[in-house]
Amino acid sequence: MTHALNFVWNPSQGIDLGFFVIRFYSLMFVIAFGLGWYIMKNIFERENESLEKLDSLFIWIVLSTLIGARLGHVLFYDWEYFRNHLLEIFLPFRFTPTFEFTGYQGLASHGAAISIIIAMYYFSKKIMKKPLLWILDRIVIPVSSGAIFVRLGNFFNSEIVGKETTSTFGVRFVRDQFSPSDAVNVTHLSTPKEAYHAIATNPKFADLLQQVPAKHPAQLYEAFCYLFVFVILFFLYWKTDAREKSGYLLGIFLVLLWTIRFVVEYVKESQGGFESALGLFSTGQWLSIPFILIGLYLIFAAEKPVHL
């Protein structure tokens, strides 16, 4: 055995209540939105803003996030498929080769970011009656916290995995190699001790496990780094006068979060998209560059009122 067996990841899909299964991926989204609402509640109270506006903001954020993330995946990563299956963009079903419930499996953070900015433009004008950058400077705090849980959800789903590695950080994503039904038959083990015990007592499992290469847990790398983004933004808002500089917090968010995304892309497996046409960088990296540049501009221009 090699140290690459140090972590085997094949969790159940959720919490089985008997009559209903709470999927971990969905649970992470609920936590992300719930925590985001709580953070914005405290911000609104500090800014003496009506909590009725907060309820509207929550609806706008949820809808724009989900719609934007879905359309972002379709347009940036898998248009060649969806151009011939337009109904599947909006419906959680696959009609060919047979009818199948698939859920909304493709969500792209770049699409969510663009959609949120567009939605906040209308929200700031129609409801908040404040400049766009005022609301964006504040929502980036809960958005950065939400990004942590979204990546944890990806980890539970064994999606957006990294490239193969022989390092001690390697994770064997069983569900990356086997279908959910087949993976259940392999094991639900998730610790080194349990994995080694199963290998010693079940030769069939040992043979199957050898088919699963160790890969970088890119989702956890991002989640860990996003935690620092959240802490930095939280500190700047509550402990400094950064919130008075229009666009400054948004700029910090864009530079930090998308730089992290750019760097982690180097250890990720290809997600597809247009990278084969442009070369040099992955699709995720190309899409991150404009956000980083805009963020740098906002940081350096933050001493002056900026209106987009």
**Residue 170 contacts residue 5 (beta carbons within 8 Å):** no
DSSP at 101: E
pLDDT recorded at residue 108: 81
pLDDT in tens, 56-75: 899 999 999 888 888 887 88
Give the mean model confidence (pLDDT) for residues 223-248: 95
Give the mean model confidence (pLDDT) for residues 154-180: 82
DSSP sequence for 154-171? HHHTT-S-B-B--STT-E
Token pair in block for residue 128: 């908040």
Q: Find, among 108, 111, 146, the residue nearest to 253 by Cα.
A: 146
Q: Is the pLDDT at 306 greater than 50, yes or no?
A: no
Q: How many of the other CB atoms lie within 10 Å of CB of 169?
A: 16
Burial of 304 (0-12, 13-18, 19+ CB in 10 A): exposed
Q: Is the pLDDT at 124 greater than 70, yes or no?
A: yes
Q: How confident is the model at residue 239 (pLDDT cuts 50, 70, 90)?
A: very high
Query: Which strands form 214-215's sheet, in the order they lie side by side?
Result: 8-9, 171-173, 214-215
Q: How confident is the model at residue 185 (pLDDT cuts 50, 70, 90)?
A: low
DSSP sequence for 102-133? -------HHHHHHHHHHHHHHHIIIII-S-HH
Q: CB under 8 Å to 265, separation ≥6 — which residues?
A: 281, 282, 284, 285, 288
| Alpha carbons within 13 A on the beta-carbon side of 138 | 25
Q: Whole-model pTM?
A: 0.82
Rounded CA separation 181/175 (Å): 9
Q: How confident is the model at residue 245 (pLDDT cuts 50, 70, 90)?
A: very high
pLDDT recorded at residue 277: 73
Most confident segment among 2-11, 15-24, 139-148: 139-148
pLDDT recorded at residue 36: 94
190 or 123, which is more confident: 123
Give the mean model confidence (pLDDT) for residues 280-287: 89
Q: Find, among 196, 299, 202, the residue nearest to 247 by Cα.
A: 299
Token pair in block for residue 121: 């433009």
Low-confidence winner among 116-130, 195-209, 234-248 (lowest mean pLDDT): 195-209
Q: Find, among 107, 110, 203, 182, the residue nearest to 150 by Cα.
A: 107
The pairing of beta strand 171-173 with beta strand 214-215? antiparallel
Burial 212-236 (b: 16+ CB within 10 A, else e): bbbbbbbbbbbbebbeebbebbeeb
pLDDT recorded at residue 3: 43
Rounded CA separation 79/169 (Å): 33
Q: Is the pLDDT at 192 greater than 50, yes or no?
A: no
